Amino acid sequence: MTVPQENCQVIDLSLLIAEDLPCYWATHLPFQHKTYNWFADRGDGSGCVINRSGPYATRWMAIDEHTGTHIDAPSHFIPPEDSGLPHAAAAGAITVDRIPLERHIGPAAVIDVSELTGGDSLPGQSPIITAGHIERWEREHGRLRPDEICLFRTGWDVMYRRGAAGTGYVHDVVVTKTAPGWPAPEVETISLLWDRGVRCIGTDAPSMGPAQGDRGQAVHVAGLGRGVVYIECLTNLALMPARGALFCFLPLNVMGGTGAPGRAIAWVPA
């Protein structure tokens, strides 16, 4: 694979993470980012910052594996093969550090399903990306290839906002269930992508799975159980062509990780 050097624009497809952004799953550990050491002792209205070990600044983070733009390893939903648990399979041994880098680097196939966002879905439920959406895209752009990374452009990243305005991204969908959810594929859609040879699927929504009931788990099991990896919480997919760009996601190399944040970029022909 050749990384383009000329006549290409590099697009950042990664969400900014910060304490006042909805960068973590609403029922998981909230993201925290705090000062550990400052150049000198300092007091202000919110407390004090201490110089513990010299004239430099450093901060610590409390961060869930699935924070911001991140990858789902198969072990996120697939138990170890010998565990005796439901859905146990060999793929349960595939943690972040065991995913080949080439699995999430490759030519992008961007499937625009943004017309599903803002429709008439019920609160707490996702509109479904069906196999028909894939087949419609293929009629216009050609059949998906096994080397391609399929990216769903739902447009949900416009919901990623600071403060109280950001509760619509995840919280209002899965906690209070007062708002409709993001578009997401069903099991049959994942199976079609598998049949096409696609082994990495991304979305600009907060989860690959639908918000309603156990359908989210079913979609994760359908792909991750086969060794497919998911990349969630992308952004800026509107800047991508349907085909022609090179996609790259580099997760933190976390030993035993069920997922890991990282940086997603694309080289887009100018």
CATH number, domain with residue 220: 3.50.30.50
pLDDT on residue 169: 98
Q: How confident is the model at residue 14 (pLDDT cuts 50, 70, 90)?
A: very high
Segment 190-202, tens digit of pLDDT: 999 999 999 999 9
Q: Are residues 40 and 100 in the same domain?
A: no
Q: What is the mean pLDDT of residues 220-241?
A: 98
Strand partners, 266: 11, 247
Q: What is the mean pLDDT of the chain?
A: 95
User: Domain range spanning residue 112?
Assistant: 8-27+64-269
Identify the residue with better confidence: 228 or 52: 228
Q: How far apart are CA 78 and CA 158, in angstroms?
A: 31
Split into its structural domains, the chain has a count of: 2
| pTM of this structure | 0.95
- Going by the DSSP 8-state scheme, the letter that residue 132 receives in this structure is H
Q: What tokens appear for 154 in the block?
A: 């739902």
Q: How far apart are CA 109 and CA 95, in angstroms?
A: 25
Contacts of residue 192, defined as CB under 8 A and 6 or more positions apart, other chains included, come to: 131, 134, 135
Q: Are residues 70 and 186 in the same domain?
A: yes
- Going by the DSSP 8-state scheme, the letter that residue 209 receives in this structure is S
At 93 the three-state DSSP class reads: helix
Assess whether pLDDT exceeds 60 at residue 1.
no
Q: What is the mean pLDDT of residues 88-109?
A: 98
% of the chain at pLDDT higher than 90:
88
Strand partners, 34: 60
Of the candidates 120, 123, 156, the residue with the CA atom closest to the CA atom of residue 15: 156
Q: Are residues 230 and 207 in the same domain?
A: yes
Domain assignment of residue 119, yes or no: yes
Domain assignment of residue 1, yes or no: no
pLDDT on residue 191: 98
Q: Are residues 91 and 209 in the same domain?
A: yes
Please, what is the Cα angle at 259 between 217 and 145, to 5 degrees? 75
Segment 112-161, tens digit of pLDDT: 999 999 878 899 999 999 999 999 999 999 999 999 999 999 999 999 99
Segment 15-65, tens digit of pLDDT: 999 999 999 999 999 999 998 998 988 877 666 787 888 999 999 999 999
What are the backbone angles phi and psi of residue 266, rounded to the nearest 5°?
Answer: -140, 145
Domain assignment of residue 3, yes or no: no
Q: Are residues 217 and 184 in the same domain?
A: yes
